[in-house]
Structure 1
Amino acid sequence: MVEVGVPKVSVVVPAYNCGPHIEKLTASLLRQSLPADEFEVIFIDDGSTDDTGERLDRLAAAHPHIQVLHTENSGWPSRPRNLGIERARGEYVFFADDDDWFADQALERLHDCAKTYDADLVIGKMAGHGRSVPRELFRKNRFDATLQNAPLIDSLTCHKLFRRSFLNEHGLRFPEGGKRRLEDHSVVVRAYFLSRRTCVLSDYTCYHHAQRGDARNVTSALLEPSSYFESVRDALDIVDANTEPGPLRDRLHRRWLRNEMINRLRGKRLLEAPEDWLEQVALETQKVIQDRFAPGVAAGLPPLQRAVAYLTERGRFADLRRLARWEAGIAGHGRVDALQLDDRAVTVSVAAEIRSADEPIGFRADDGRDVLVLPVDEIAPEVLDSTTQVRKARLDVVARRRETGDEIFLPVTFQIERVGAPDGTDSVHLVHRATTTIDFGALNGGRTRGSWFLKARITNAGWTEDARLPLLFICRADGAPPRIRDERKIWNRLRSAVGRRIRR
């Protein structure tokens, strides 16, 4: 039983020099469907030098469930979050950032899920605005998720609902002492291993994770390679302490190899990075691959990422740059082949493929295997073996609400067509085809008011690429039949282009 008068949720928010950027978060907190007397908000002003402190003080003066703690600047979110835990009275604690915001029913739905399933940890669906968020994790609700049965490892930010007694029981606190990158990872990974029940709430977008337009998020600056990779090793140590050598450990380790190392050494991210900084990152990555990872870690990556790991481990940094120039041209391309409207239901058939510089990515036959064709020589064929990825390749159709960023996976039937090269060689490329029927009376639980566009999401050979489809569905009210704007028509394309310029 919860003590009478104890808030259901404490929202803890570190704040530093956010000024007007905090308005979106504060407005979303004041709109929560959870009554104001059932949750509290604790802002920790981390020594702001602008008017952030005054803004928060005015807010707290007007709303009794909001409080502000002013501290000397620590330079990083860890200490403010820890102070927030100590100050919190709620049964559950949610950690938010000062430039993000909540959906209107987020706290109520998260708390209801936690109570219904007696969860120590609840992860609400996230929408990204200039930031990446997990995709596969939020494909469906998961009310008993573990590191073994769900892709929890894809979500390592702290923007989650934690039972406060769980945090205190296990001493879960954020590492302090300077600018500790990946400070979330040490807390969240331990929490995954310790949690008695973890839930993933995917049928409602709870949290909007944003990159500020002025790129002044506290973690947006270039990382310092040596200390950053020390933090990576700390996270790997937690995994090693809680697993035995084998497939599970390899799969968990793979998350850091993929996200914190390989993805920094490929495509546009590599090309835009300073040369000397990039060499340090490549050397640190080389050390971790050689010192910490079993062979199964890189072997479980898709072929393009395996190729990057292969080149990095061998110090072939010039080839990394050559490969990055090719991958920088990678994009998804999609088209609408058929469209049929029946009252509130719309059936759409699409075709899509992945291309680089307008040429489809290709595969060549090699001893019964599909081998990815790359513009770099002397990579072992087994590294580029794409047979499994080609078999698992898929095309999703995703509906995204333009006003909020909500994304919904639509049910599809899909197939893959293998198309031979026009030059008569033994290489092929893949055309993905899918058909979906969208019931605008049931989409997003019937909450359809607004403008929806479709994306073809192609997953193959290590890429997941979105291609915007030229259809916009406008619903005047929840569950209403949509008005369809077909942007394939020249006038609509021109109108959309003008509108985009005006909005900028």
Structure 2
Amino acid sequence: MSRKKISVIIPCFNLEEHIGTTLECVLKQSIGLENFEVIIVDDFSTDNSCEIVREFVKQNSNLYLIELDSNQGPGNARNKALEIASGEYYFFLDGDDYISDDALELVYNEASTKEVDLLFYNYGLIENVGDPAYAFRKDLHIIELYKSNKEELIKEFLAAELDGSVIFSLVKSDLVKRGKITFPDGLHEDIPFIFECYLHAEKIDTLSKVIYFKKFRKESIINNLTFRQIDGLIEAWLSCFDKVQGSQLVPHVEIYTKFMRGLVGCIASLLQKNLVFHADSFADRVVNYNYIFKKSKSIGLFDEKALPFETIKDKHFSNFFRVYSEFGVSGDSAEFFESQAIKLGIIEKGSFVRA
């Protein structure tokens, strides 16, 4: 492949109802077809996704399809694309989302003019293509504040104050190659990837304009809670700590304090997801609570006598950990935890149903 300005990398698994719309929006990019390539990696789809992509590839010389012979997850799918990508920058796009017609032109001009390794841009959450966005990225002001201070950015990331999604980030290919950065196995695989990008980046900037539109799909892997997702999120955060531990980047005490705040926040988010995604099944919530507690306990970092209680997430996690430490894994513990959470004002009674 000849050198392109941007490589658009799209993992695809069973997206026959969405992948066509995604590819159509990419092919309309104002930057010009000659300036970018699109690499779609089909992760052993069992529907017609691959056939749909093949038709696009036949008609467009800048589209490439990699077909995996087994389901390997989005991380490994992206790794396969990185092996052949020729772009100066990598733009990661999910196969059920879409971008504005000028997205690639805007991010490339911004990144190349400012000579940055990482460009973080705004996104909007939507229900369907063309719908107005109902939520936006919340951390750009933090990145903008500390973009020239890597130490503070690393601490903010470890404290879970920054978005860990790779799909809202333009990454310079030289940065990935220089740092030998790849996606790990498992879910939440983009968190360690983008964290390593922060570690190795020499120059970072932001773009406030909304150029990426993330579709909310109930059947999406991110809109559920399973043991794999619980393991994936917690292990991703532990991996980030491992990558920076022992480095001379920031004092160890500060790293550990921020990391613990982020870890507590991550586990609290799992507890909240359990309430939302299993709103109608107390039995399912009990199973997940039990697993989350055992996973948290196995880390060996939490002392029930010294748990944080400052933020809402602190209270949510600390209440949970204390109850389960005292009463053990059971339906009674789950019931008591939820009742205590209501009394503390952490969750409203009857709020277990998605708005």
Q: Same fold (TM over 0.5)?
A: yes
1:157 alignment counterpart: 165
Aligned length: 322
Distance 1:145 1:104 in 2: 33
- Does the 8 Å contact 2:99/2:213 carry over to 1? yes
2:126 alignment counterpart: 129
Of the candidates 29, 32, 40, which is equivalent to residue 29 of structure 2? 32
1:250 alignment counterpart: 257
Shift in Å, 1:271: 6.6
- Determine helix, strand or coil for the equivalent of 2:240: helix
Shift in Å, 1:81: 0.5
Of the candidates 282, 285, 302, which is equivalent to residue 296 of structure 2? 285
- Does the 8 Å contact 1:15/1:97 carry over to 2? yes
Question: Cα RMSD between the aligned structures?
Answer: 3.3
Query: TM-score, normalised on structure 2?
Result: 0.79
Q: Does residue 201 of structure 2 align to residue 207 of structure 1? A: no
1:7 alignment counterpart: 4
Higher Rg: 1
Structure with the bigger RCO (C-alpha within 8 Å, sep 6+) is 2
Q: Does residue 82 of structure 2 align to residue 85 of structure 1? A: yes
Of the candidates 234, 240, 245, which is equivalent to residue 245 of structure 2? 240
What runs of 5+ residues in structure 2 fail to find an aligned partner? 128-133, 325-332
Of the candidates 298, 322, 331, which is equivalent to residue 339 of structure 2? 322
Q: Does residue 64 of structure 2 align to residue 64 of structure 1? A: no
Change (3 A) 1:232 1:149: closer
What runs of 5+ residues in structure 1 fail to find an aligned partner? 331-355, 359-466, 468-504
The one-letter code matched in structure 2 to 1:298 is: P
The one-letter code matched in structure 2 to 1:155 is: D
Q: When you count strand as a share of all residues, which structure comes out higher?
A: 1
Distance 2:165 2:77 in 1: 16
- Determine helix, strand or coil for the equivalent of 1:49: coil
Residues 383-394 of structure 1: matches in 2 within 5 Å? none
- Does the 8 Å contact 2:9/2:39 carry over to 1? yes
The one-letter code matched in structure 2 to 1:168 is: K
After superposition, what is the alpha-carbon deviation per residue over 1:408-431, rounded to whole angstroms, capped at 9, x for unaligned? xxxxxxxxxxxxxxxxxxxxxxxx
1:17 alignment counterpart: 14
- Does the 8 Å contact 2:316/2:346 carry over to 1? no
After superposition, what is the alpha-carbon deviation per residue over 1:105-149, rounded to whole angstroms, capped at 9, x for unaligned? 211111112112211111111112369764142588566464515
Distance 2:67 2:51 in 1: 10
Shift in Å, 1:297: 8.5
After superposition, what is the alpha-carbon deviation per residue over 1:146-170, rounded to whole angstroms, capped at 9, x for unaligned? 4515955521111121111211111
Shift in Å, 1:186: 1.4
Of the candidates 305, 321, 337, which is equivalent to residue 313 of structure 2? 305
Shift in Å, 1:246: 2.8
Change (3 A) 1:226 1:124: closer
2:270 alignment counterpart: 264
Change (3 A) 1:171 1:211: same
Change (3 A) 1:270 1:163: closer
Q: When you count helix as a share of all residues, which structure comes out higher?
A: 2
1:173 alignment counterpart: 182
- Does the 8 Å contact 1:10/1:93 carry over to 2? yes
Query: TM-score, normalised on structure 1?
Result: 0.57
Percent of aligned positions with the same letter in both sequences?
19
